[in-house]
C-alpha cells in the first residue's frame, strides 16, 4: 500500500527588538537570571501591558517578505494556562485576528519548484525559562518573559521530509534577510515544531497527527519526520491506529520516542485581551516599511549574477548569511570590484573566519578596508602576493591597507625607467641564460625574474619584469 | 448558562485549584449567580449593532522600542516564596500544557 504524508510546521522567530513586547525591560541573551525583568513581566497587581511599536514593524516586515495578506484590523487575545514560567497565568497572543494570513515561500527540491503556503502568522510574547532540577524543584528565570515572537504556521502543503527541510531553510533565509530576527536555532531565536500525518494514497481525509516540538536542528527535523513516516506506515500496515501524541526525537538512536498521548483538545479559553485596545494597520505605514526593508536574498542573487557577473556558486556562498551579503555589498559600494571582492570574501575572509571560529562582526577588517585593498591590487600598486600580507595585517589589527602599504614600502615597483636598467644588467651578467632562452628553454626567464625579485625584495611587478625581460632577451 | 459541579471541577483543574466537596458546592452556587448576573446582558436587544471585541473608541498607543531599567532583581524577588541563585524556586513540574 502507498501512503501520502502531510507535514506542517509552526516556527517561532524572536523579533529583534531592544525592549520587550509589553514592557520596556531590555531584551537580553545570556544575562543573569531575572535581571532583565520588571513589575510588568512579573505581573504585579495593577500593571498593564504597553505595546512596543517595533514589534508590529518587524512583524509586518516578515509578513511582507512572505507575501502574506496583512490584516488591517488586529487585536491581541488572551490564552489562559497555568505554568510557573508565565506569571500572568495567560499569554498575550493573537488568536482571532492574526497579523497576517495567506503567505507563501517558494522552494526547490529534487530539481522541482514548489510553492508552500503559509496559513497565518501572529505576534505574541514568549514565556520565561524553566530549569528542572533533580531535587524536586524547578528554577524559573523570567528574562525571556515578554520577548516578542512571531509564529509562522504553514499550510499542509509539505509532503516529504526533504521538502520540510527546504521549507525551513527558505523561511529562515527570507526572515533573516528582513533583519527582523537573528534566526539562530542554537540561541533559540528560531524554534521549530513540526507535525506529520500519513494516509493511504487516494484517501482524502488526513490521518492522525503526531507532533514533535523544539527540534534542535533542521537535520533533526528531517530525520525525525523520515522516522515517523516509516513508523506510522508500519502501525497502519499492521492494522493499528496512529495515536494523537507528542513525540520527542532521540539523537542517539535517531528514533522518535513517545512523550505524551493527547486526550482531547487543550482548553485555553481564549478571549480578546481586555487590557489592550485594537490596532488598525494603515496602508501608509505598510508602504513605508516596505520601502525601508533590506533587499531580499533573491533580489541580491539576481544582482550578483546578472549585474556583477558572479558565478551562481559564489553568489550563493555570499548569500549564506545576511551578514556576509551586507559586508560584500558595502565593499562594492566603497568601490571594490565585485568579482575580486567576492573572491576575497569567499576564500580569504571565510578561511580566516573558519580557522579562528569567529564571525564577521568579530574581525577588524571593514568592507571599506577590503575595498581599499582590492583597489590597490587592481591599479597595480601591490601584487596579490603582497596583498595577502596586507590582508593578514588588516584582518587582525584593523590597519588601513593604503597606509600600511606606504609605511612598509610595499608599493609594487612597476616603473620601467627603474626596472629596465636592472633588466639589462641582469641579462648582461647571465650569458648562459641568454643562450638557454635562444635554445627555447623558457625556464631561463624564470631564473632571471627571480634575480630581479631578489634585488627588489619582491616589490617588482612580475608582469612588467616578464615583459621587459622578454623584450631584452629577444633583442640579443 | 447553567453552572454545574462538573463545570467547576473542570475549571478548577485548568486553574490548578483543589476544592473539597463543601467548597465545590459553595463555588458552584456562587459562580452560578455571577454568571446569571452577567447573563442579563443577553436580554439587551443587539439587533443591527456591529459585533466588537472592545469598548474603547480608539487604537492602542504604542511605546517606542527603548529599553528601561525599572526594578532591581532583589526588590522583585521579595515576593517570591522561594529562591536560589537568582532563580525563582518552584515545585518541579514536568508535564506542561500544550503549545507554549
pLDDT at A432 over 50: yes
pLDDT at site A123: 98
Helix, strand, or coil (residue B87): strand
A373-382, A451-460, B65-74 — most confident range: B65-74
Count A/B contacts: CB-CB distance under 8 Å. Answer: 146
pLDDT at B1 over 80: no
B58–chain A Cβ distance below 8 A for any pair: yes
Q: Residues A311-317: what's their mean pLDDT?
A: 95
pLDDT at site B94: 63
Average pLDDT over all residues of chain A: 91
**B54 falls within a domain:** no
Q: CA-to-CA distance for A192 and A51, rounded, in angstroms?
A: 26
Other Cβ atoms less than 10 A from the Cβ of A446: the count is: 13
Q: Residues A448-458: what's their mean pLDDT?
A: 85
Q: What is the CATH number of domain A416-474?
A: 1.10.10.410
Q: Residues A251-277: what's their mean pLDDT?
A: 86
pLDDT at site A417: 85
Q: Which pLDDT tens digit goes with each residue over B38-90?
A: 999 889 999 998 888 888 888 999 999 999 999 999 999 998 999 999 999 99
Q: How many domains does chain B have?
A: 1
Is the pLDDT higher at A381 or at A164? A164
Residues 6+ apart with CB under 8 A from A434: A427, A444, A473, A476
Q: Which pLDDT tens digit goes with each residue over A161-218?
A: 999 999 999 999 999 999 999 999 989 999 999 999 999 998 989 999 999 988 889 9
Question: Where residue B11 sits, what CATH number does that domain have?
Answer: 1.10.20
Taking the domains of chain A in order of start, what are their residue ranges?
3-280, 295-407, 416-474
pLDDT at site A95: 94
pLDDT at site B98: 39
Domain membership of residue B12 as a residue range: 5-43
pLDDT at A155 over 80: yes
Kindly identify which residue of chain B lies nearest to residue A43, measuring between CA atoms: B76
CB contact under 8 A, A277 and B59: yes
Chain A residues in contact with B73 by the CB 8 A cut-off are 32, 34-35, 37
Q: Which pLDDT tens digit goes with each residue over A184-200?
A: 998 999 999 999 999 99
pLDDT at B100 over 50: no
Distances (CA, A) of A441 to A13, A164, A416, A436: 66, 61, 25, 5
pLDDT at site A405: 77
Residue A463 backbone phi and psi in degrees, to 5: -65, -45
pLDDT at A229 over 50: yes
Distances (CA, A) of A16 to A192, A292, A295: 18, 16, 18
pLDDT at site A333: 96
pLDDT at A78 over 60: yes
CA atoms within 13 A on the CB side of A338: 18
Nearest CB neighbour to A52, from listed B10, B15, B63: B63
Give the pLDDT band of residue A265 (cuts 50, 70, 90). Answer: low
Nearest CB neighbour to B87, from listed A25, A44, A141: A141
pLDDT at site A220: 94
pLDDT at B99 over 60: no
B53–chain A Cβ distance below 8 A for any pair: yes
Q: Residues A220-234: what's their mean pLDDT?
A: 95
Chain B residues in contact with A81 by the CB 8 A cut-off are 14, 97, 100
pLDDT at site B97: 44
Q: How buried is residue A69: exposed, middle or buried, by Cβ count under 10 Å (0-12/13-18/19+)? A: exposed
pLDDT at site A124: 97
Distance from CA of A259 to the nearest CA of B (A): 10
Q: Residues A377-405: what's their mean pLDDT?
A: 83
Q: Which residues of A, range 243-302, sit inside 8 Å of B by Cβ? A: 260, 262, 266-267, 269, 272, 276-280
**B71 falls within a domain:** no
pLDDT at A438 over 90: no
Q: CA-to-CA distance for A143 and A129, rounded, in angstroms?
A: 8
Q: Which three cell numbers stand for residue B4?
A: 454545574
* SS3 letters across A285-324: HHHHHHHHCCCCHHHHHHHHHHHCCCCHHHHHHHCCCHHH
Q: Which pLDDT tens digit goes with each residue over A293-306?
A: 999 999 999 999 99
List the beta bridge partners of residue A150.
Answer: A13, A123
Chain A residues in contact with B65 by the CB 8 A cut-off are 17-19, 52-55
pLDDT at site A454: 86
Kindly identify which residue of chain A lies nearest to residue B83, measuring between CA atoms: A139
Amino acid at each position: 500500500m502507498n501512503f501520502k504524508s502531510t507535514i506542517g510546521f509552526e516556527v517561532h522567530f524572536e523579533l529583534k527588538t531592544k525592549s520587550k513586547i509589553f514592557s520596556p525591560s531590555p531584551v537580553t541573551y545570556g544575562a543573569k537570571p531575572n535581571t532583565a525583568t520588571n513589575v510588568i513581566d512579573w505581573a504585579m497587581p495593577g500593571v498593564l501591558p504597553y505595546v512596543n511599536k517595533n514589534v508590529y514593524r518587524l512583524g509586518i516586515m516578515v509578513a511582507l517578505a512572505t507575501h502574506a495578506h496583512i490584516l488591517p484590523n488586529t487585536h491581541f487575545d488572551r490564552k489562559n494556562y497555568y505554568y510557573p514560567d508565565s506569571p500572568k497565568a495567560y499569554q498575550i497572543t493573537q488568536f482571532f485576528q492574526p497579523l497576517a494570513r495567506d503567505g507563501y515561500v517558494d522552494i526547490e527540491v529534487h530539481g522541482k519548484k514548489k510553492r508552500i503556503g503559509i496559513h497565518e502568522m501572529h505576534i505574541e510574547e514568549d514565556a520565561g525559562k524553566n530549569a528542572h532540577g533533580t531535587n524536586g524543584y524547578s528554577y524559573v528565570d523570567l528574562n525571556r518573559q515578554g520577548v516578542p515572537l512571531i509564529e509562522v504556521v504553514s499550510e499542509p502543503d509539505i509532503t516529504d521530509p526533504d521538502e520540510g527541510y527546504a521549507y525551513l531553510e527558505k523561511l529562515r533565509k527570507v526572515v533573516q534577510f528582513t533583519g527582523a530576527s537573528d534566526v539562530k536555532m542554537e540561541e533559540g531565536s528560531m524554534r521549530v515544531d513540526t507535525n506529520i500525518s500519513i494516509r493511504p494514497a487516494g484517501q482524502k481525509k488526513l490521518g492522525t497527527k503526531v507532533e514533535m516540538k523544539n527540534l534542535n536542528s533542521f537535520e533533526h527535523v528531517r530525520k525525525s519526520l523520515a522516522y515517523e513516516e516509516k513508523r506510522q506506515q508500519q502501525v497502519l500496515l499492521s492494522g493499528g491506529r496512529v495515536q494523537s501524541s507528542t513525540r520527542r526525537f532521540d539523537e542517539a538512536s535517531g528514533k522518535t520516542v513517545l512523550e505524551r498521548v493527547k486526550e482531547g483538545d487543550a482548553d485555553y479559553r481564549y478571549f480578546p485581551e481586555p487590557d489592550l485596545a485594537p490596532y488598525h494597520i494603515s496602508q501608509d505605514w505598510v508602504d513605508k516599511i516596505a520601502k525601508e526593508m533590506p533587499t531580499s536574498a533573491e533580489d541580491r542573487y539576481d544582482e550578483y549574477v546578472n549585474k556583477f557577473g558572479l558565478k551562481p556558486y559564489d553568489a550563493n556562498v555570499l548569500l549564506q548569511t545576511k551578514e556576509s551579503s551586507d559586508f560584500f555589498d558595502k565593499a562594492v559600494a566603497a568601490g571594490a570590484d565585485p568579482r575580486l571582492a567576492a573572491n576575497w570574501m569567499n576564500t580569504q575572509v571565510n578561511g580566516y573566519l573558519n580557522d579562528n571560529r569567529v564571525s564577521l562582526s568579530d574581525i577588524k577588517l571593514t568592507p571599506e578596508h577590503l575595498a581599499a585593498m582590492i583597489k590597490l591590487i587592481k591599479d597595480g600598486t601591490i601584487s596579490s602576493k603582497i596583498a595577502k600580507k596586507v590582508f593578514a595585517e588588516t584582518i587582525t589589527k584593523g590597519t588601513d591597507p593604503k597606509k600600511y602599504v606606504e609605511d612598509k614600502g610595499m608599493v609594487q615597483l612597476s616603473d620601467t625607467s627603474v626596472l629596465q636598467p636592472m633588466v639589462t644588467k641582469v641579462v648582461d651578467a647571465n650569458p648562459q641564460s641568454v643562450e638557454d632562452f635562444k635554445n627555447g628553454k623558457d625556464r631561463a626567464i624564470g631564473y632571471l625574474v627571480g634575480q630581479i625579485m631578489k634585488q627588489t625584495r619582491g616589490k617588482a611587478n612580475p608582469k612588467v619584469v616578464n615583459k621587459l625581460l622578454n623584450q631584452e632577451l629577444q633583442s640579443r | 448558562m447553567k453552572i454545574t459541579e462538573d463545570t467547576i471541577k473542570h475549571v478548577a483543574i485548568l486553574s490548578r485549584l483543589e476544592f473539597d466537596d463543601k467548597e465545590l458546592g459553595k463555588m458552584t452556587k456562587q459562580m452560578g449567580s455571577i454568571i446569571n448576573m452577567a447573563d442579563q446582558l443577553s436580554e439587551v436587544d443587539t439587533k443591527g449593532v456591529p459585533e466588537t471585541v472592545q469598548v474603547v473608541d480608539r487604537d492602542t498607543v504604542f511605546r517606542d522600542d527603548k529599553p528601561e531599567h525599572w526594578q532591581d532583581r532583589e526588590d522583585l524577588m521579595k515576593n517570591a516564596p522561594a529562591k536560589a541563585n537568582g532563580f525563582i524556586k518552584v515545585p518541579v513540574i514536568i508535564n506542561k500544557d500544550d503549545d507554549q
